[in-house]
Amino acid sequence: MGGGVHSAQQIKQTDTDDTEDDKDSGSDVDPCDTLLESLRMMCCCILPDGGAATSTSGTMTTTTTTTQYVDTSNTGKNSPTVYPDRYSMNDNQMSSIKLLKNPLKKDQGKKCLVLDLDETLVHSSFRAVTGADFVIPVQIEDVVHFVYVAKRPGLDKFLSEMAKHFEIVVYTASLNKYADPLLDLLDPKGHIRYRLFRESCVYYDGNYVKDLSLINRDLSQSIIVDNSPASYIFHPDNAIDCSSFIDDPSDRELDQIGSFLAGVRDVKDVRKVCNMWREWPLIPHVDGLHFPLQGGDNGGSVGHGSGVVLDARDEQCPR
């Protein structure tokens, strides 16, 4: 369960386990529905409409983990931070943004794995759900609501395995007041090196886009995993287009993605292979691939797209 400091007066828990009296009260308004807009604003990457932030000038500010673009054209103290806007910034302005510091020494040489959060790694809801892994208190307009979070099956193993091969970055369009405490719970061992939130997304055509050209990493060495195609519309060749996780306990997509990512960790250019992840390991040979070993991690062979049976040990490619 998530922690958090809040007074009893401030807490309003939204729970679908209402009493019969509540259900018969004559009100058709589901308290969860009243929060849908808030949920959309907080947890989803895509907004159907909404005000585009206009930023024509700004400065770079550095936090402990990220460098963010902060708009200074709007001097209102309560609304100083916005996201880069593709419509109002030229290429030079955009290219000056570096959302991430250089990789840590222990991550140098690794590819960068950019992970979406909602519906990719977890599903979150204001509705109380049985089996939720975490409950995060989030304050919205002076009221603390509880967000129920379910981890996608296989998430813990996925993060620990991917951390061996990749520099992991979570890049979410959600607000940090929700995502930051959640990531503290999801990643107690610190596998995730950097966290990027909504203010680091680019507002483009009504969507919050995760612009990989801004993260200060080689695009040939960067992969994004995201359930929303609009999030990676600028770099589709770098994307693994996972399905949306809601509540399916038999979901095993992280296992498949993890196997693929481990296999492509040494390819020269990820953009040549990302679109083949669903067929993995039955894909054509590319230099640097590590095909999984049949019958376990330490032996065997596997067929691939060319129809040739490979000895996986022959595919090993030193970094």
Whether 211 contacts 260, CB under 8 Å = no
Whether 231 contacts 209, CB under 8 Å = yes
End-to-end C-alpha distance for the chain, whole angstroms: 41
Closer residue to Mg ion in complex, CB, 89/99: 99
Nearest by Cα to 211 from 96, 41, 118, 119: 96
15, 49, 71, 118: the active-site residue = 118
Minimum CB separation of residue 279 from Mg ion in Å reads 23
Rounded Cα–Cα distance for residues 276 and 153 (Å): 22
71, 85, 116, 226: the active-site residue = 116
Active site residue 266: no
Rounded Cα–Cα distance for residues 72 and 61 (Å): 11
Active site residue 116: yes
Minimum CB separation of residue 227 from Mg ion in Å reads 5
Closer residue to Mg ion in complex, CB, 67/120: 120
Minimum CB separation of residue 226 from Mg ion in Å reads 6
Minimum CB separation of residue 44 from Mg ion in Å reads 7
Q: CB-side exposure of 56: number of CA atoms within 13 Å?
A: 2
Rounded Cα–Cα distance for residues 237 and 273 (Å): 8
Whether 34 contacts 143, CB under 8 Å = no
Rounded Cα–Cα distance for residues 264 and 269 (Å): 9
Closer residue to Mg ion in complex, CB, 55/120: 120
Supply 293's token pair. 């070993």
Minimum CB separation of residue 67 from Mg ion in Å reads 23
Supply 53's token pair. 């932030």
Rounded Cα–Cα distance for residues 43 and 11 (Å): 20
Closer residue to Mg ion in complex, CB, 116/187: 116
Q: Which residues bind Mg ion (CB under 5 A)?
A: 45, 116, 118-120, 227-228
Closer residue to Mg ion in complex, CB, 176/228: 228
List, by residue number, the catalytic residues.
Answer: 116, 118
